[in-house]
Amino acid sequence: MLDLLTLETTWVTLLKTLLLLGFILISCHAITNYLLLSHIPGPTLYALTKWRLAFDDYAGTRTRTIHALHQIYSPIVRIGPNEISFSSLSALKTIYGAGSGFERTSFYRMFDVYGEQNLFTFASVKAHSERKKLLASSYSKSSILKFSTQAVSQKVCEFMELLEREPEVGSEIFGSLHYYALDNITDFLYGRFGKTEALPEDVDRRMIGDILDPRRRKLAWFACHLPRYTKFLLSKTGWAEKVVSTLGLLPQAKPTVYTGIRNHALKSWLYFSRSSEKGEKPSGNTIVEKLWESHVSQTERGGLTDMEIASEAADHLLAGVDTTSDTLMFLIWALSLPENFQYQEKLILEVRAMSVSDLDDRGIPTTEATDKLEYLDAVLKETLRLYAPLPASEPRSLPVESFVDGVKVPAKTIVSMNPYTLHRNLDVFRDPLVFNPERWLGDPKEVAEMKKWFWAFSSGGRMCIGIHLAMVEMTILTAAIYRKYRTKVKKGTEDVSPGITSRFEVFYDETKPRVKEHECCIDFMEERKG
């Protein structure tokens, strides 16, 4: 009996000792981290634990909080035990400029598709560069011009037809613009092997149903801060899934966000792959064809596997829907507000002054013509400045010690910047919260300075590869709409801002007292001739 008591006491003592050692090690690590960045100003609680910023993520206030901290402290502020946020032009060049060496952090792994990395999630500069080489020619401006001549113009035509055929569907522009962006990107990626028909038909519209669920923000939070726990929960099937779901443990009910799009992307790739194996020769210059050219068996070095190609194409599909549609929604909404009618009228004058030679045989403005419209370009720039589709932090790190803005940054420290803060710099943008396209048509020196701070598409080697496609989709549709219609927000919603989901947050126009997430209703008023 004495031996058992002695043994029990020994185990209890050992357990207490291990717990104490663990606490000491964690404390020492926390103290070390705290001291390493003690020269960086910022709130003490953020410096002590990463969970303070994680709480802002959960509350959906991260980006606005960081912006506020920059106003209180300086262009350099500590936002975590191992994380610094910057907001200067010099830091932008150092961290994100070409050849900077800064790599993406593990944060981006939450965007892996089918368990495979892709262009967006690669950390190393080398891996990203090698993959980008396979795709760069397809996303070049000349290639996009060829694609837009028929494909994008056709989608614009179908959107205009939707406004007439199903005015209730078309006028809710959060949804209808998602259909427009979806049809464009699927055609560009897969061609006949996976292009959708969400604009002319209602079947493919169901694909984005899971995007509308506001709980997608909660899922993003869990995937970022508790990745193993989230993966474990979402992997449950059968009775285990029922138990997990009944207990309310799932961050978002299945199907989770982008499930429909990912399923469609995989089916499209399999259809293409099987057709290619049978010797069917695809027509066109789609992204899957470019990736297929590099495809070799898994045993050979240098080629992409089936799932790597599927992941890459699916990631481009995910990236090409929300960003384009959200920007277009804010553009139309902003022009439709009573206080901005003056800008809408000037845009209408410009697009309606286009000659017959600026239109295709269906009356849709051509890419070449819309590319030259200065007022349209100013409207688009101002929309992207004030309502950037990805306004949050873009984290980076270096494996070695570095200096940013003259401040020593220890190895593996996370550094970040965000478009939200850059685009609201009071010293660069007068009245930064005011939608004013004409700021981009003012004094050339001021415009040149604003362009330096304009960061809607990132910069350097990681600059958005789809910039030319997005610009073509947005300029042609905007020109087509305002050649035919005037727009205004639905009566009674003048003080309501639409809200878009980006990672953990909802972004909206903060000058409006009310927000309606994932909904925006617009009246399209056609002027009948005669």
Q: How is residue 82 written in tokens?
A: 């191992």
Query: Does the annotation flag 521 for ligand binding?
Result: no
| Beta carbons of 498 and 174 less than 8 angstroms apart | yes
**Which residue type, as a one-letter code, is found at position 27?**
S
Name the one residue in this structure whose structure tokens are 């939450």.
110
User: How far does CA 276 lie from the centroid of its chain?
Assistant: 32
Q: What share of the chain is helix, strand, coil (3-state, %, to 5)?
A: 55, 10, 35
Name the one residue in this structure whose structure tokens are 């898994």.
298
Q: Containing H/E element for 183?
A: helix 173-190
Which residues are bridge partners to 524 per DSSP? 487
- Provide the H-helix boundaries in 37-124: 44-48, 51-59, 62-72, 89-96
245 backbone φψ class: left, alpha, beta (φ>0; ψ -120 to 50) = alpha
For 525, which DSSP code?
E
Residues 6+ apart with CB under 8 A from 195: 183, 186, 187
Number of H helices, E strands in the chain: 22, 12
| 3-class secondary structure, 237 | coil
Q: How is residue 3 written in tokens?
A: 């031996």
CB atoms within 10 A of CB 473: 28
Name the one residue in this structure whose structure tokens are 């050692």.
21
Name the one residue in this structure whose structure tokens are 């099937």.
237
Q: Cα separation of 240 and 246, whole Å? A: 10
CB atoms within 10 A of CB 296: 11
Residues 6+ apart with CB under 8 A from 209: 260
Omega cis (within 30) before 389? no
Task: Provide the residue count of the chain.
Answer: 530
353 backbone φψ class: left, alpha, beta (φ>0; ψ -120 to 50) = alpha
CB atoms within 10 A of CB 221: 21
Q: Containing H/E element for 114?
A: none
Q: Containing H/E element for 86?
A: strand 83-86
Name the one residue in this structure whose structure tokens are 């300075």.
449
Distance between first and last Cα of the chain:
106
Binding-site residue positions for heme: 464
Binding-site residue positions: 464
